[in-house]
Amino acid sequence: MTKNFLLAKEVHKSLFDSGFTIPVNLYEIFSCYLRGGRLHHGEKRTIKIFLGDEIFDVTLTSINFNRENYPTNKDIWQVRYSKNSPVAKKIREIFTAKKFFTFCATDVKDVFCLQANSACDELTLENLLELPTLTDTQENFVERLGLKKYRERNRINGERLKKNYGYCCQICGLNVGLFYGAQVADCHHINYFSVSLDNAASNLLIVCPNHHRIIHAANPTFDRERKSFLYPNGLEEILKLNEHL
């Protein structure tokens, strides 16, 4: 059964006790994997999730708040279960020592997969989005992921920014491919794409491959006001190049 990435999130206490929320910007993609299509306001459905080697029924719900009292609020979709349910007990058994979980669709509608991860593989996802050509397997992955239009936008925005910066890293200022007569630069999503699905130029940085790997390995905080990365060890790197943030 094919697994199609939808969401990666940090493990919080609510995952062990009650469930998790689907981000609003995923509703369109998420609906493609539902037998009945998009949820209506206040609607509840039963979906199935694979967890380990077992399958469980859980509730997918659109919270039924009073729209007259909160006219500007968007619908809230959640995957729900009770604290003492079999699925909650299984989650506590598997996920306690893990930092992240991923939620994936399958090629069967209303059937999803919940997995524990030690790290969020955002870098792999970013690299997939940037590839000018994909193998058949990768193309299938991207199409099923519902990210074709996002990938196309990413490449347009990313290539424009790379040219604007002359394929130099905004952090160290170096064009690492120049000596070899090559154009080598990566696009990094400031707010991770796997969560934000944000391919706007305001969420992209042009970086060399070394800094790209370091950012994902060390997970520094980006300060938009100072235009700098603050690393867990106390090191701060201020962007040497910046024309668009």
Query: Does 103 or 157 have the greater pLDDT score?
Result: 103
Residue 119 binned pLDDT confidence (cut-offs 50, 70, 90): low
**Dihedral sign of CA atoms 123, 126, 132, 134 in order:** positive
Residue 136 binned pLDDT confidence (cut-offs 50, 70, 90): very low
- Residue 28's pLDDT is 85
Q: How does pLDDT run across 15-66, given as a tens digit for each residue?
A: 999 999 998 888 888 898 899 999 999 999 999 999 888 999 999 999 998 8
Class of domain 3-117: mainly beta
Is the pTM higher than 0.75? The answer reads: no
- Residue 76's pLDDT is 92
Residue 4 binned pLDDT confidence (cut-offs 50, 70, 90): confident
Q: How does pLDDT run across 27-41, given as a tens digit for each residue?
A: 888 898 899 999 999
* Domain boundaries, given as residue ranges, for the chain: 3-117, 122-238
